[in-house]
Amino acid sequence: RGDMTVGETAKLLHKDASEVIKKLIGMGVMATINQELDIDTILLLAGEFGVEVEVKIVLEDDRFETVEENDDPADLQSRPPVVTIMGHVDHGKTTLLDAIRSTNVTGGEAGGITQHIGAYQVEINHKKITFLDTPGHEAFTAMRARGAQVTDMTIIVVAADDGVMPQTVEAINHAKAAGLPIIVAVNKIDKPGADPDKVKQELTNYELVPEEWGGDTIFVNVSAKQRMGLEGLLEMILLVAEVNEYKANPDKRARGTVIEAELDKGRGPVARILVQHGTLKVGDAFVAGNCFGRVRAMVNDKGRRLKEAGPSTPVEITGLTEVPGAGDPFMVFEDERKARSIAEKRAITQRESDLGTNTRVTLDDLFQHI
Ligand code: GDP
Ligand code: MG
């Protein structure tokens, strides 16, 4: 049982059913025109086609209803890019994430205590960039498979003393499949055996050609360990963001994705969420996967309490009744009663589909590759 058929989805996306079926096969889903798709798959498809789809869950009978409700372009405001770092094991993903985070404690937020909330924001030239802290390839693929399109851009880290390795290629394939812009960070250039040009040469086999060789891929040489080249990397991210004009409407109920969640002994269920649309406020009633709640407290990655959080802001919230799953969609509703009944219906749907396949991502999956 699903939300819309393949045919209805094609109509919604203004595509031919055959195109949608082809895309589904590419995603590993064998489908016919009358097959029903769940909301996550529909969202994923929309992302694949680059179509903005607003999800509206209507509680009439037992069905969720999806309607197209494009934002008025006048309501859209530019938002920080959301960036993931991927690459082969030991090429320096974690070191790079840590180096960027600690280098960039600037302005009014200095002095805050860094909180691990699954993502963090840095600021350069008065512009923000959001980094996802969970670069696991599996987590990335699993989130995509669940319909969560959380990133705008991928940094592929390649160690200059090691070159292109299997997981480098995997990362490139993931990024390409998701249609994400790629920036290559050639890392460990401080090492004696470092050969950045060899990395560039190798990557031409994967259609990543540097600008100086007539291509359009941005390469940045860095040393995560020595903190060299980081500012240049951040500037390139902003450049790509400027070209792509990432925007969202901050003036509506929040919608986003659960990045991580866990049961905290003192605070109960805690979820780390990336707000993607609208603005999340303390007191908002929400659904996260099959769970519901009301935002009791909200903190950012600097440990600061927030009253509200706009698009591309990662926050940690308390006030849930249960622990949602990583990659679960997050949505604010007008009141807690509605949120609760939607969560309950989603739980039933999930139990039914669990009899088929189980695509829930565990925290182990998420951390396995960091
Ligand atoms: P990950 O598996 O991709 O997350 O890689 P890590 O960040 O854990 O780094 C693997 C190893 O490479 C660690 O011992 C790091 O200290 C080292 N490393 C990371 N970046 C650099 C760098 O720029 N230069 C040097 N010399 N070593 C680095
Ligand atoms: Mg790591």
DSSP per-residue letters across 118-158: SEEEEEETTEEEEEES---HHHHHHHHHTT----SEEEEEE
Query: Best of 170, 225, 226 to mutate for ligand 1, by most ligand atoms within 8 A of CB?
Result: 225
- d(CA 39, CA 57) in angstroms, rounded, equals 10
Long-range contacts of 165-173 (CB under 8 A, 24+ apart): 165/88, 165/91, 166/88, 167/86, 167/87, 167/88, 167/89, 167/137, 168/87, 168/88, 168/91, 169/206, 170/137, 171/86, 171/87, 171/88, 171/137, 172/206, 172/208
pLDDT in tens, 207-216: 999 999 999 9
Tell me the pLDDT band of 358, cut-offs 50, 70 and 90.
very low
Choice between 104 and 25, residue whose per-residue pLDDT is larger = 25
125 is in an annotated binding site: no
Of the CA atoms within 13 Å of residue 323, those in its CB half-sphere come to: 15
Q: Per mean pLDDT, which of 8-12, 124-128, 218-222 is the most reliable?
A: 218-222
Look at the block and give the residue holding tokens 């180096």: 99
Ligand 2 centroid, distance to 305 Cα (angstroms): 28
Q: Which pLDDT band, with edges at 50, 70 and 90, does 61 fall under? A: very low
Q: For residue 146, what pLDDT is reported? A: 64
**Which residue, among 233, 146, 124, has the nearest Cα to 189 in the 3D structure?**
233
Report how far ligand 2's centroid is from the alpha carbon of 90 (Å): 7
Instruction: Give the per-residue pLDDT at 134.
Output: 67
Could you tell which of 85, 90, 157 is best to mutate to test the pocket of ligand 1, judged by most ligand atoms within 8 Å of the CB? Answer: 90
The CB of 229 under 6 Å from ligand 1? The reply is no
Residue 107 has a pLDDT of 47
Could you identify the atom of ligand 1 that is nearest to the CA of residue 370? 4
Number of Cβ atoms within 10 Å of the Cβ of 326: 27
**With 70 as the cut, is the pLDDT of residue 65 above it?**
no
